[in-house]
A and B are shown apart, each in its own frame.
Chain A
Amino acid sequence: MGAHARESAVHASGLGRRFGRYWALAHVDLEVPYGTSVWLRGSNGAGKTTLLRLVASLSTPSCGELAVGGHDVYRQRAAIRRSVSLVSHALYLYAGLTARETLAMWAQLGGTAAAARDVERRLDEVGLAAAADRRVGEFSAGMRKRLALARALLEAPRILLLDEPFSSLDRAGCELVEAWVRRFAETGGTVLMASHDHERSRALCERVIDLEDGQIVGRETLRATGDPS
């Protein structure tokens, strides 16, 4: 791995993940420098979610190497998880907690006092301040998604993994997410995002990775890293 791995937010080579007889991901070579936003493009079942879960260290590769933030996925999961946040299809929310309680709990688990102070600000940012004391179980899909995003940013990650961030959001919600991811990227954050929303993803990301049947079939550079669109 060596030098490459240390410079990159994500470094993968020959990465593969098998589920039974089926290779969900194979031959993935990936180099994502810090501060880059990458759009994972592909149809359902192309391997986007599998790749995001591998990078999040929630899943173990079947072969190949993978380093996230310079940390080896086989041996340094804890370190990876400190620098990565994932917003996946499942939003990891407890229906019985209120929005405020949810954020407060995750802030406590992250262990920083700053995060705990951020709770109110984050609620405000995602437009949930008015609903802060309502239970998540009563939320609409869009509100749940916003809360999940607020939670992810509360964790102050260096790398943000988004699996279909625009799904189940209304127009305002989508714009909010877009503005947000942009701000995160502009402040030096790294984004890996799987999405079917071509227009928004194209506007947000600098690079595109095309996945098909578990393999990278194309790479596209939309603009240089750091360039505004």
Chain B
Amino acid sequence: MRVVWSILAKDLLLEWRERARTLSVVLFAVVTLLLFSFALGPDVEALRAGTPGFLVLALLLSSTLALNESFRIEREDRALEGLLMRPVGSMAMFYAKALANALLLTLLAPVVVGLAVVLYSLEVGPPALAGLVGCWALGAAGLAAPGTLYAAMTSRLKTQDVALPILLFPLVVPVLLGSVKAMDLVLFGDAMNQLQSWVSLLLAFDVIYWAVCGVLFRYAVEEGE
């Protein structure tokens, strides 16, 4: 645990030090949201109906930036290899990196959700806002686990910018559907009490992938024969 915290603290400190870069992820998410709005035209009703989708797509698209960035710092001076040389354990390494990524992606929520509320004149109270951020956080956690595993591999490739999305996006279809549906129910009412099942689906995805990827991370970072 202490080791997880040391690596996590290092990641967060570096994010903070290089906040210009971190900020670019935020800006990217905001721009994405704007573009979706333009693509759907000025009909506020239609835009409002599409809000959950726009939000989750903004999260999804910015996640690849954040994930690639998270391993760029490890690759620059091959620091990841240095971490491997310490009696750290690849599992601790995975959880530290994945937590840092999940946290960073979750921190996008207030900005992007806030912007959506303003742009689409959403009438939401604090509980609904909290619900939206909660769905966002569950989605972010779902992206962070497989995303960290895959980014650790693709960061070694010249084609990393393409490789990560083509691996990650099909995989997170359940996350996408789950968060969109859950946000939709939070925003526009949950007549049939379905919210719980979607949240459970997201939770199930999160639990499964946080466990599986933790075990597999070793094989992603260690050199084979």
Contact = CB atoms under 8 A, between A and B. Distances in A.
B13 A101 contact: yes
Interface residues of A, number: 31
A81 B10 contact: no
A222 interface: no
B225 A105 contact: no
A65 B97 CA distance: 34
Nearest to A110: B86
A106 interface: yes
A85 B87 CA distance: 11
B82 A81 contact: no
A97 interface: yes
A86 B84 CA distance: 11
Interface in A72-114: 77-78, 81-82, 84-86, 88, 90-97, 101, 105-106, 108-111
A92 B86 CA distance: 12
A58 B85 CA distance: 8
B224 interface: yes
Contacts of A90: 77-78, 81
Contact of B81 (A58, A61, A84, A108): A58
Interface string B1-33: 011001101100110011000000000000000
A62 interface: yes
Interface string A152-189: 00010000000000000000000000000000000000
Contacts of B43: none
Interface residues of B, number: 28
Contact of A95 (B77, B89, B225): B77
B45 interface: no
Contact of B77 (A78, A94, A111): A94
A59 interface: yes
Interface of A (DSSP majority class): loop
A106 B77 contact: no
A92 B78 contact: yes
A225 interface: no
Nearest to B14: A96
A111 B76 contact: no
B40 interface: no
A62 B224 CA distance: 10
Nearest to B5: A108
Nearest to A83: B87
Contacts of B212: none
A56 B81 CA distance: 11
A57 to B, nearest CB: 8
A96 B87 contact: no
Given A59-B223, A81-B86, A92 B77 contact: yes
A96 B79 CA distance: 12
Nearest to B75: A90
B223 A108 contact: no
B85 A86 contact: yes
Nearest to B85: A81
Contacts of A13: none
B83 interface: yes
B72 to A, nearest CB: 11
Contacts of A109: 3, 6-7, 83, 86-88
A96 B18 contact: yes
Nearest to A101: B13
Contacts of A60: 223-225
A84 B85 CA distance: 8
Contact of B86 (A61, A95, A135, A155): A155
28 contacts: A60-B223, A60-B225, A78-B89, A84-B85, A86-B85, A90-B78, A90-B81, A91-B77, A92-B77, A92-B78, A92-B79, A92-B82, A92-B85, A94-B14, A94-B73, A94-B76, A95-B73, A96-B73, A97-B14, A106-B82, A108-B2, A108-B6, A109-B3, A109-B86, A109-B88, A110-B86, A111-B2, A111-B3
The 10 closest A-B pairs by CB, nearest first: A92-B82, A90-B78, A108-B6, A96-B17, A96-B14, A109-B86, A92-B79, A82-B87, A60-B225, A93-B77
